[in-house]
């Protein structure tokens, strides 16, 4: 990674992030990068808007878990707003977007990513509380739910505020001319180490641990309830935990969201820590192009989230839309369709387990 001399005369090495000064013709590579960015942007935009639409359509019976998933979709939409700016930087190489965008770009990306992981953590807690019936009115009141959502956004905004403050435009000599990059300039190395380690621990590892523990508890309850059902055990009405088929389906969907998040966000967390290590090991060189493709992989999570949730949770609606688009509409009698729907609603397929 190239070094530079600051205005005060101090030698310092800066990571270029998305600026990549290449001394050869890379038009084909730029077209490929832009095409990949555009594809992910459009897919994530359509998927998240579709997911928000389907959830809002069910507003008369929108659960707390679905509200938290709705919050996740909104965070994903905010996250992908960075894609057009990144495409511009990959073409111009030098930073031409100004100081304000430099301060806000990485702040918005880290803010929305933090909201996603906190929302997944919150929905896992809500599910285990709801299924175990530890609290009958957990996050069911609108004021409590609104407060929880506001707390998630406020906590994420405060935790990622240093990125807004310390990302700035730096001028570097490159190939006989001065070029600009948007990079992270911490006042002290100790502060950078503290923030990186704290952020990775409390906003990645701890929420991940909460999610794993919560879903392990739900899985334990579900398995026990199925064993009880198979054994034909009877319990009194006041001493049982109900795990409906709908709860179990939502549980499986959220498990997929959790797995995809950690697979697609782990590389960006690792490379951020490697950028920190690079300050001490000058022989460790991380190319901006490597950082770009890892970030692109992370953006893919914003497109995968709504696909996983919508297809798994609204499978019937997805099938109807697909059949409508392909013209293969299977028509049923009105009486038959009504009877089937009533049957589905009247038999929620509950499993039981004693407390």
335 located within any domain: no
pLDDT, one tens digit per residue, over 104-161 is 999 999 999 999 999 988 888 887 777 766 544 444 567 788 888 999 999 999 999 9
pLDDT at 2: 37
pLDDT for residue 133: 63
Q: Which residue has the tokens 């999610």?
A: 211
C-alpha to C-alpha distance for 194 and 192, rounded to whole angstroms: 5
Helix axes 27-57 and 83-92, enclosed angle (nearest 10): 180
- Among residues 34, 119, 37, which one has the least CA distance to residue 76? 119
Helix (H) or strand (E) run with residue 29 in it: helix 27-57
Q: 234-257 pLDDT, tens per residue?
A: 444 444 445 556 666 667 777 888
Q: What is the pLDDT of residues 165-186, one digit of tens each?
A: 999 998 877 656 778 889 988 8
Q: What angle do CA 174, 176, 181 make, to 5 degrees?
A: 25
Does this model's pTM top 0.75? My answer is yes
CATH number of the domain at 177, please.
1.20.1070.10
Report if residue 21 sits inside a domain. Answer: no
pLDDT at 162 over 80: yes
Average pLDDT over residues 47-68: 80
**What pLDDT score was predicted for residue 217?**
81
Q: What residue ranges in the chain does DSSP mark as E strands? A: 3-5, 11-13, 167-174, 177-184, 241-243, 351-353
| Domain total of the chain | 1
Residue 341 inside a domain? The answer is: no
For residue 260, how many C-alpha atoms fall within 13 Å in the half-sphere facing its CB? 21
> Which residues span the domain enclosing 147?
26-228+243-325
Q: Give CA–CA dist 268/140, Å, rounded.
A: 35
In a domain, 52, yes or no: yes
Given CA atoms 326, 328, 330, 331 in this order, what sign does their dihedral have? positive
Contact partners, residue 270, CB within 8 Å, separation at least 6: none
Q: Does residue 13 form part of some domain? A: no
Closest C-alpha among 109, 149, 96 to residue 126: 149
Report which of residues 69 and 42 the model is more confident about: 42
Considering the domain boundaries, does residue 204 fall inside one? yes
CA 330 and chain centroid, separation: 36
| pLDDT (0 to 100) of residue 78 | 95
Rounded distance between C-alpha atoms, residue 151 and residue 135, angstroms = 20
65 within domain boundaries: yes
Is residue 309 a contact partner of residue 257, using CB atoms and an 8 Å limit?
Answer: yes
Beta carbons within 8 Å of 88's beta carbon, 6+ residues apart: 96, 97
Residue 110 domain-assigned (yes or no): yes
> Which of the given ranges, 25-29, 63-67, 68-72, 84-88, has the highest pLDDT on average?
84-88
């Amino acid at each position: 990674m190239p070094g530079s001399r600051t205005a005060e005369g101090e030698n310092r090495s800066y990571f270029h992030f998305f600026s990549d000064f290449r001394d050869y013709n890379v038009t084909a590579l730029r077209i490929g990068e832009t095409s990949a960015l555009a594809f992910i942007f459009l897919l994530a935009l359509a998927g998240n808007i579709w997911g928000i639409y389907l959830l809002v359509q069910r507003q008369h019976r929108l659960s707390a878990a679905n509200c938290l998933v709705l919050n996740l979709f909104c965070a994903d939409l905010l996250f992908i707003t960075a894609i057009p700016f990144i495409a511009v930087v990959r073409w111009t190489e030098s930073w031409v977007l100004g100081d304000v965008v430099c301060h806000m770009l990485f702040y918005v990306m880290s803010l929305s990513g933090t909201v996603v992981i906190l929302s997944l953590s919150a929905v896992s807690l809500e599910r285990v509380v709801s299924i175990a019936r530890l609290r009958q009115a957990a996050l069911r009141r609108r004021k409590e739910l609104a407060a929880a959502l506001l707390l998630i956004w406020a906590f994420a905004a405060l935790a990622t505020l240093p990125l807004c403050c310390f990302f700035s435009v730096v001028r570097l000599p490159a190939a006989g001319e001065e070029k600009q990059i948007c990079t992270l300039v911490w006042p002290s190395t100790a502060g950078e180490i503290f923030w990186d380690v704290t952020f990775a621990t409390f906003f990645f590892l701890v929420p991940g641990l909460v999610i794993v523990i919560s879903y392990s508890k739900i899985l334990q309850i579900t398995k026990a309830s199925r064993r009880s059902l198979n054994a034909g055990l009877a319990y009194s009405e006041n001493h049982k935990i109900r795990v409906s088929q709908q709860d179990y389906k939502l549980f499986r969907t959220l498990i997929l969201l959790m797995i995809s998040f950690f697979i697609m966000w782990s590389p960006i967390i690792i490379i951020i820590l490697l950028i920190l290590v690079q300050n001490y090991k000058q022989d460790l060189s991380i190319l901006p192009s490597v950082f770009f493709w890892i970030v692109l992989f992370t953006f893919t999570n914003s497109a995968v989230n709504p696909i996983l949730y919508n297809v798994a949770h609204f499978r019937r609606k997805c099938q109807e839309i697909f059949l409508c688009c392909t013209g293969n509409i299977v028509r049923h009698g009105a009486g038959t369709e009504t009877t089937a729907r009533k049957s589905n609603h009247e038999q929620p397929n509950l499993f039981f387990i004693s407390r």
